[in-house]
Amino acid sequence: MLKLKLPTDPRWVNIAEKNIEDILVDHAYCEQKAATSGISLIVKYPDKTKLVEEMTALVAEEWSHFERVMEQLKKRGYGLGRNRPDEYVVELSKHIRKGDKRERQLMDHLLVNALIEARSCERFKLLWKNIQDEGLQKFYYELMVSEAGHFVSFVKLAKEYMPPEVVDTRLQELLKIEADIIANLEHRPDRMH
Ligand SMILES: [Fe+2]
Ligand SMILES: [Fe+2]
């Protein structure tokens, strides 16, 4: 799905369902970070009109996702727990190349965001298909569709600023890196990634 090179271990969903409070809290922070990341891109690249426009819409959408996860927590009598470091995102972000090539750095940033969207989308699909709670099934179906759209948008946006073939080559490299990160990350019952 979405070009990911390593599918999630199917055991993840069973573990996740048993820890739904932790998963929802972790998920809420994923949405908050997605919104924050969109804001950071706007602040860093105010001269890129298309990027500013698209990120403005994306931030609003991610924030609405955050609100929806908060509703799910509230419905179950849970609050927003503490934020925990997202090792997956930290590892993946190390591959955003720094230096003076501003467009290249932007491309890497957009592609890393695309991959986070793709992996979240894959996890939401697993939750939609396997979770027992019917309310959450519908919820994760809708979010899966939305995050799939974000994956496509981030890749398209990268191609606004770098030649398409350069973007495709870098996407392939990052897909391999992402699969290695997933393969080496320990399975944790309380995390979305
Ligand atoms: Fe989202
Ligand atoms: Fe998203």
- Model confidence over 149-162: pLDDT tens digits? 999 999 999 999 99
Which tops the pLDDT comparison, 74 or 1? Answer: 74
Q: Which of 97, 110, 112 is nearest to 159 (CA)?
A: 110
Q: pLDDT category, 115, cuts 50, 70, 90?
A: very high
Long-range contacts of 45-49 (CB under 8 A, 24+ apart): 45/106, 48/106, 48/160, 48/161
What is the overall mean pLDDT for the chain? 94
Q: How many Å lie between the centroid of ligand 2 and the Cα of residue 120?
A: 8
The pLDDT of 181-186, averaged and rounded, is 91
100 CA to centre of ligand 1 in angstroms: 31
Residue 66 forms part of a structural domain: yes
Give the domain extent around 142. Answer: 13-184
Task: Report if residue 17 sits inside a domain.
Answer: yes
Ligand at shortest distance from the CA of 27? 1
Centre of ligand 2 to C-alpha 146, Å, is: 7
Across 124-133, average pLDDT = 92
- Whether the per-residue pLDDT at 1 is higher than 70: the answer is no
The answer to whether position 3 is within a domain reads no
pLDDT at 125: 94
User: How many Å apart are CA 151 and CA 148, to the nearest integer?
Assistant: 5
CA of 165 to the centre of ligand 1 (A): 28
Tell me if 1 is assigned to some domain: no
C-alpha of residue 128 to centroid of ligand 2, in Å: 16
The tally of domains found in the chain comes to: 1
67 falls within a domain: yes
| Tokens linked to 157 | 């946006």
Q: Is residue 85 part of a domain?
A: yes
In a domain, 2, yes or no: no
Q: What is the pTM of this model?
A: 0.95
Q: Return the CATH number at 175.
A: 1.20.1260.10
Say if 78 falls within a structural domain. Answer: yes
Q: Read off the pLDDT of each residue in 6-24 and give the average, rounded to a whole number.
A: 88
Give the number of whichever ligand sits closest to the CA of residue 115: 2
Summarize the confidence of residues 34-59 as an average pLDDT: 98
Measure 76 CA to ligand 2 centroid, in angstroms: 24
